Amino acid sequence: MMQSTAAVAHAPAGAVSTCLAAFGEWLRRHSRVVARVQWIVVVAYAVLIGVPAFLPLPPDEARWFNNLTVFAQWAFWGVWWPFVIVSMFVVGRAWCGLFCPEGTLTEAASRVGLGRGVPRWLKWGGWPFVAFTLTTIFGQLVSVYQYPAATLLVLGGSTVAAIGVGLVYGRGKRVWCRHLCPVNGVFAVLSRTAPLHFRVDAAAWTANAGRIPIHPVNCAPLVRIRRMTGPSECHMCGRCSGLRGAIALEARSPSVEIATLPPSLARGWDAALIVFGMIGLAVGAFEWSTLRAFGELRAFAVAHIVDQGPAWLLADNAPWWLLTHYPEAHDVFTWLDGALIVAWIVATALIVGGWVSAWLAAAARSIGGAWRANAYALAYTLIPLAGVGLFVGLSGLPAALAHSEGLRLSWLAPARAVLLAAAAAWSMYLAYRWVDGRSRRGEEERLSPSRRIAALLAMTIANAGVLAAWYPYVFR
């Protein structure tokens, strides 16, 4: 009780602050309730991911209320995945800490596993980018959104890997979530815009050393709590709430962390994930199947191969766990299809990501100083546009499902356009605040108005390029 009172005392005045701090304390005190909810989610996840994979494909007239496979499709891809992305903008990584079945399972496995230390190779900063890239491309090859066997393969495979990592590394920790989860990097960058976080009051931490008894805290995602400055790595589990009377759930401006990010703290791998992964790769992955140009390229390639060979490229004998293979649904990929899909997605990522990178570099050079670090920091200003782009892309499957339910969605394209435009405006506001703050901090020299305008113009062109890349998907 002593700690909880102290935590509330350090929160800013106001009913909202008091309620937030109290809720953080509630999370800490009711860890058993949280654990029960987590295991209920695990059971629901296991049923929805496992059972449909062994059922026949649903007939055309199947609906969510009379067919488990269609219900699971809605649950995973219509509701869960798009709205987990949205939740990062609102409550940070609360999904990870309070609900995620993989987090629950890997932590449970880690309690009874070998308890080994985390090796260096697992801490490599590029894993979030590599894991997201490979999972996104593989998901397209096996049609993860369409078929329950593919869903079991991708999500179930990830879950098995999470349990395996838990059984080997850490003691009651979430080593998988911290280093290898395919969406860890995406969630980490999106939650930088979260208006809620567990704030560490450094002065109170120091002042209360030895005065307030410390309750033992198991921070499962291995956050260095004392040095925590934002919700990027924190899973919002609340276990450290009130620690030393210095930690409380608090509100903040959703723009403050990115607008004030020092270039020295900007990470190159985060910038790559935002620019080439969440923007470039996502555009390619969501758009290829909707574009006439892809169909024309495929027809051209088929005609060429029929004339010149090699004929095996047109064979459709790949197993379902490598390329989509559902003859009963008249949906079968040839080896050529697989190669074209990978090439299309990678080329789109390079073109769109390359465009954005070039203008980030131009903006950073306008600012002067360490241009590479500045470019990395400016990449974070694109997080709203990258995150909303993911949401818009993911809205494709629920839209298709709703269409099959007989719903007409004439408002969908304008709604997507408005969302992307609003996100681009937020990204530009962040860029303005970041450049303005850098100018006022004046680390090297005060920025002249012309250099500031040049930097913001370059950022405008970068944002416009992303909007243009999403145009065909929005108005298909």
Residue ranges that bind ligand SF4, judged by CB under 6 A: 97, 198, 217, 219, 221, 223, 225, 228, 234-240
Output 29 or 63, the one with its CB closest to ligand SF4.
Answer: 29
Q: Which amino acid is at 254?
A: P
Segment (H or E) for 331: strand 331-332
Say which DSSP state 11 is in: S
Q: Is the dihedral of CA 462, 463, 468, 469 positive or negative?
A: positive
Q: How far is the CB of 29 from ligand SF4 (least distance, A)?
A: 13
Q: How far is the CB of 228 from ligand SF4 (least distance, A)?
A: 6
Token pair, residue 72, equals 């699971």
Q: How far apart are CA 345 and CA 350, in angstroms?
A: 9
Q: Is the dihedral of CA 201, 175, 158, 390 positive or negative?
A: positive
Instruction: Find all residues with CB under 8 Å of 400, minimum gap 6, and list them.
Output: none
Q: How far is the CB of 335 from ligand SF4 (least distance, A)?
A: 44
Q: How far apart are CA 82 and CA 286, in angstroms?
A: 13
Q: How far is the CB of 126 from ligand SF4 (least distance, A)?
A: 23
- For 143-207, give the secondary structure using H, E and C: CCCCCHHHHHHHHHHHHHHHHHHHHHECCCCCHHHHHHCCCHHHHHHHHHHCCEEEEECHHHHHH
Q: Are 99 and 37 in contact (CB under 8 A)?
A: yes
